[in-house]
Structure 1
Amino acid sequence: MPKIQASTVAEHRATQRAALLDAARALLSQNPDQIPSLADVAQHAGLARSSAYSYFKSRTDMFDALVTDTFPRWAAHVGKHVDAAPTPGQKILTYVEANLQLVARGDHALVRALSGIGSSEALATSSKLLHDSLRVPLQAALAEHGTAHPERMAELIQSIVYTLSRMIENGLSLRAATSLARELLAPYVDKITN
């Protein structure tokens, strides 16, 4: 029996599972067009191939777990940055910028890759939860900022995020994308309460 590297078997299993998910995330981020096998993921994590099968029934099962692990991380990253912004207007800009940072880091490419290999049910559920959880801090900032229709304005701002995300993935730098977002949104966010 392999020696465990944690104080309990449960902690060891959680650490091993997290290492496999991190390895899968890293491999997909490096090359979103090449879907790694469970053996590839185990090797990248420094674990035996059989270890991967003790945590996941199949490659699809592992990628479903990665979907449900990745989306909350995205929402937590954005939420943490938005919460730290000092004013409602800054929260709105920070929302856009935090999302663009993740796109530039490769997380959006990872999400796109996962959409092609995970089960559609896991993806649809996690994607809805991500978008719902992302909408909450943005709509709250918009309402606090004095926006008459926070839900509609959130949709407009999200369309800016989508467009700039595409531009980043087509080669625009994060700095240039952020500059465009600020140029477009600054008159609005500076207008009401700032």
Structure 2
Amino acid sequence: MAEHRSMQRAALLDAARTLLSQGGTEALTFPALAERTGLARSSVYEYFRSRAAVVEELCEADFPVWAAEVSAAMAAADGPRARIEAYVRSQLELVGDRRHRAVVAISARELDAGAREKIRAAHGGLVALIVDALGEAGHPQPRLAAMLLQGVVDAAVRRIELGAEEPQVVAEAAVGMALRGITG
């Protein structure tokens, strides 16, 4: 029974990722989750109390994987400047990933305080990955620089999501700002 519930929960989360990445916030409804998973709508409520609860669980599942991918890219880089570049590029490469698109699709104002705090903590863990590289690159305030650098990455993500420029153009601009603007 526990294994069946675990499989159903995983199927609901996967359906939520798909709905959010394809149709945004409006697409994530309990009837749509039920339809995609073959469950009765009332059964969906047995797993999640709200859309915010679905998104909170997606963040808990997907942020650590995302951070591990960024961390692995940084670990494979040689030297602080290369790690900074890997930090930026790896995040921008994840923009098309369903896990990322699902998290971006829901706005923070629709989430309860607990969900927003978990997202903030997850982002804080991501930002913490770059602090040492910024310090090694000579920045006198690496924590502040890490927060500002994540702001550059977040803005680049939004530009890629908008489709206003080619993703590679946005990535090059963001990396340039990181390496020249933040590290001097």
Q: Which has the larger radius of gyration?
A: 1
From 49, 62, 67, give the equivalent of 1:57: 49
Note the alpha carbon deviations across 1:106-156, whole angstroms, 9 max, x for none.
Answer: 655533432357532133211221221012110022123333221122133
Whether 2:103 is the aligned partner of 1:111: answer yes
Aligned to 1:132: 124
**CA distance in structure 2 between the aligned counterparts of 1:82 and 1:182, rounded to whole angstroms:** 14
Aligned to 1:100: 92
Give 1:29-178 correspondences, 5 Å limit.
29-105=21-97, 109-115=101-107, 118-171=110-163, 172-178=165-171
- Summarize deviations over 1:175-194 as a string: whole Å, max 9, x none: 11122233334457998xxx
Equivalents in 2 of 1:109, 1:182: separation in Å? Answer: 21
Q: How many positions carry a matched residue from both structures?
A: 183
Among residues 160, 175, 178, which one is paired with 1:182 in the alignment?
175
Over the aligned positions, Cα root-mean-square deviation in angstroms equals 2.8
Q: Deviations over 1:72-120 (max 9, x none)?
A: 3332332232223232211111111122122344655533432357532
- TM-score, normalized by length of structure 1? 0.77
Structure 2: gaps spanning 5 or more residues? none
Deviations 1:1-47 (A, max 9, x none): xxxxxxxx333322221111111011011011423322311321344
CA contact (8 A) 2:16 2:102 kept: no
The answer on whether the counterparts of 2:55 and 2:103 sit within 8 Å (CA) in structure 1 is no
Distance 1:66-1:19 versus aligned 2 partners, 3 A rule: same
CA–CA distance in 2 between the matches of 1:39 and 1:11?
24
Contact kept, 8 Å, 1:92 with 1:141, in 2: the verdict is yes
What runs of 5+ residues in structure 1 fail to find an aligned partner? 1-8
Normalized against structure 2, the TM-score is what? 0.81
The code of the aligned residue for 2:13 comes to L
- Identity in percent: 36
SS at match of 2:71: helix
Give how far 1:52 is off: 2.1
